[in-house]
Amino acid sequence: MTESVDRQTAVLRLRGADDILILCHKNPDGDTIGSAGALYLALKTLGKNAAVLCSDPIPRLYDYMELRLFDGSFQPAFVVAVDVASIQLFGDHNDVPHYAEHANLCIDHHASNSGYAYETLLDPGAAATCELLLDVIAEMGVSITPQIANCLYTGVATDTGCFRFTNTTARTHMAAARIMEAGADAETLNERLFESRSHARLTAERMALESLEYFFDDRCALICLTWDQIEASGVAGAELEDLTSLPRSIEGVDVGLTVRQQRDGSFKISIRTAGAVNACNIARRLGGGGHARAAGCEISGNPDNAKHAVLEEVRKELERTGLLT
């Protein structure tokens, strides 16, 4: 069982360590990559030997970050995971499970964190792990350079949907202001992260919309993409992340579901909710987790089985809130 630590203790651990391996979660998004990039640059500033490792390739969308990917050239003496809520989210490639089993420190913002690391710095009130890392890096005695700021901005902006999601707080805006004052190129990053769509991404979106289904008096909307469709579109995984907000954006929908098949045949379920409907309650009962308005899980089987499983939990949650009788 993990020991919860405060920010000062986490800073002491990082400043006292060397040969540091930074782990991201599989299917990496802006927050886990931004967190890893910012922490790597901060440790490098302190003269530490550090590198980043992920089970899956880092999407080209984030190639502006100055990451050093782990190549096995040193033996990690300290392992830190960033934005990873449970051991299952690390993935199975690049020897990641071996290192994940011995994570010394986890820095995270998911209330559903399972406590797999020896020590955990957890702040469920932070909109993104990058929001939490802003203060961690500052207390490490490292100045927030424009390069670090770009990494931090990426995590905060992507996890809040460019400051539109309900997890965005006054504290989030103040953190973003500090990051921008440190030199983050918000205009360029916003355009890259939110306003640019490849032809492949639009093809995938068209396929997803063709699969759109409504359930429970239209309070729930679901879209589905099979692995064959994803391969046929040629879309990169990172470009599919913002599809998760599409079904929830439909008028009158309280629960938006995105069912996305992965290479191994399993299904990644993304859940977005509004009002009193708790997305994490739905995901947790299926072995996943997340936040009150945004959560996820993975389900094995065929598309119909995956949809049936998550819809049954959605029904229970809608009944709990009184939205469905």
Here the CATH number for the domain that contains residue 218 is 3.10.310.30
pLDDT: which is higher, 1 or 114: 114
Among 171, 193, 215, the domain boundary falls at 193
Q: Give me the pLDDT at residue 196, please.
A: 86
- pLDDT-derived band at 198, boundaries 50, 70, 90: confident
Percent of the chain with pLDDT strictly greater than 70: 100
CATH number at residue 88: 3.90.1640.10
Comparing 125-134, 137-146, 241-250, the range with the smallest average pLDDT is: 241-250
Structural domain span for residue 214: 199-321
Q: Give me the pLDDT at residue 25, please.
A: 96
Report whether pLDDT(236) > 80.
no
Q: Give me the pLDDT at residue 189, please.
A: 98
Among 143, 173, 193, the domain boundary falls at 193
- pLDDT-derived band at 83, boundaries 50, 70, 90: very high
Total domain count for the chain? 2
Q: Are residues 216 and 82 in the same domain?
A: no
Report whether pLDDT(238) > 80.
no
Q: Are residues 242 and 317 in the same domain?
A: yes
Q: Are residues 40 and 185 in the same domain?
A: yes
What HEC string does the chain produce? CCEECCHHHHHHHHHHCCCEEEECCCCCCHHHHHHHHHHHHHHHHCCCCEEEECCCCCCHHHCCCCCCECCCCCCCCEEEEECCCCHHHHCCCCCHHHHHCCCCEEEECCCCCCCCCCEEEECCCCCCHHHHHHHHHHHCCCCCCHHHHHHHHHHHHHHCCCCCCCCCCHHHHHHHHHHHHCCCCHHHHHHHHHCCCCHHHHHHHHHHHHCCEEECCCCEEEEEECHHHHHHHCCCHHHHHHHHHCHHHCCCCCEEEEEEECCCCCEEEEEEECCCCCHHHHHHCCCCEECCCEEEEEECCCHHHHHHHHHHHHHHHHHHHCCCC
Among 193, 212, 227, the domain boundary falls at 193
- pLDDT-derived band at 163, boundaries 50, 70, 90: very high
This prediction's pTM: 0.91
Q: Are residues 177 and 223 in the same domain?
A: no
Q: Give me the pLDDT at residue 145, please.
A: 98
